[in-house]
Amino acid sequence: MKYNRILLKLSGEALMGTRQYGIDPVRLAEYAEEIKKVTELGIQVAIVIGGGNIFRGVAGASNGMDRVQGDHMGMLATVINGLALQSALEDADVQTRLQTAIKINEVAEPFIRRRAIRHLEKGRVVIFGGGTGNPYFTTDSAAVLRAIEIEADVILKGTRVDGIYTADPEKDTSATKFDHITFEDVLKKGLKVMDTTAFTLSQENELPIIVFDMNTQGNLLKLLKGENIGTTVQ
Ligand code: UDP
């Protein structure tokens, strides 16, 4: 296997499935099965999950809410998603731990780096909830930060599209996909992979990002087995 330890970033919106809001249990169960297959290969899996299916701080602020208050709500939304994913993984007989950046000790462990690594070494899937624990950040930044901290080999960003394109493929039919692209070229071409803070953190720490379509069943496994899936930023 090319990768021993991965950090999978899932957006909150991905959990909605066909719904307009919240969590689709069918989608959740599908994800759990995909993740289970990866652990069966002996790959260590950490997950950062977003909260956009429930609440985004920016959306709150645009409706007149205090931004920090909204971001706190957003971070709690990621914990809700983390609990849902944990439950789905346990239903699929996968051992998990949820660690949060904001302490909610009755519900989840606090984030402790060494402990997270120990869980991974024991084959448990570690879900990181609560983003970075700070307002004005995103879960993409949390994903990169945690990946660096736990020394993951790569970040896998599961999205709706199957990689990075020359233009938005949902708007421009002539857009073509990159298999590989450098961090510099992403910036030069003004392509959107992650928010700037997250992207720069990844670049500075030479942490590769693979953007791929998580909604096509089997894709995650194929990618990890070395098939040419998604776009690698390196
Ligand atoms: N958030 C935050 N700090 C963080 C991570 C997330 O304040 O470190 C808040 C922020 O309000 C954000 C929300 O949590 O809008 C949900 O996260 P995000 O938008 O990254 O989720 P995704 O788009 O991946 O579903």
Tokens (6 digits) for 217: 């069943």
Three-state secondary structure readout of 158-178? EECCCCCECCCCCCCCCCCEC
Give residue 36's pLDDT: 98
Which domains can be identified in the chain, with CATH numbers? 5-233 (3.40.1160.10)
Give residue 49's pLDDT: 97
The ligand 1 site (C-beta within 6 Å) comprises 11-13, 50-52, 56-58, 70-71, 74-75, 77-78, 131-132, 134-135, 137-139, 141-142
Ligand 1 atom nearest residue 133's Cα? 8
Residue nearest to atom 14 of ligand 1 (CA): 74
Alpha carbon distance 12, 146 (integer Å): 17
Give residue 54's pLDDT: 96
The reply to whether the predicted model has a pTM over 0.80 is yes
Give residue 218's pLDDT: 94
* Pocket residue to mutate for ligand 1, from 23, 139, 195, most atoms within 8 A of Cβ: 139
Tokens (6 digits) for 66: 């205090």
Give residue 206's pLDDT: 98
Give residue 15's pLDDT: 94
For residue 18, report the distance from its CA to the centre of ligand 1, in Å: 21
Q: Give pLDDT < 70 ranges for the chain.
A: none
Give residue 178's pLDDT: 97
Tokens (6 digits) for 43: 């790959």
Give residue 1's pLDDT: 79
Task: Determine whether the annotation assigns residue 222 to a binding site.
Answer: no
Give residue 168's pLDDT: 87
For 3, residues 6+ apart whose C-beta sits below 8 A from its C-beta are 43, 153, 154, 224
Task: Determine whether the annotation assigns residue 137 to a binding site.
Answer: yes
DSSP state of 22: S
Q: What is the pLDDT of residues 45-75, one digit of tens each?
A: 999 999 999 999 999 889 999 999 999 999 9
Alpha carbon distance 136, 58 (integer Å): 9
What backbone phi and psi angles, to 5 degrees, belong to 108? -155, 165
Give residue 56's pLDDT: 93
Residue nearest to atom 23 of ligand 1 (CA): 52
Task: Determine whether the annotation assigns residue 159 to a binding site.
Answer: yes
Task: Determine whether the annotation assigns residue 11 to a binding site.
Answer: yes
Q: What is the pLDDT of residues 121-137, one digit of tens each?
A: 999 999 999 999 999 99
For 213, residues 6+ apart whose C-beta sits below 8 A from its C-beta are 158, 159, 160, 161, 162, 163, 219, 229, 230
* Closest by Cα among 130, 14, 133, 132 to 76: 130
Alpha carbon distance 117, 229 (integer Å): 27
Task: Determine whether the annotation assigns residue 168 to a binding site.
Answer: yes
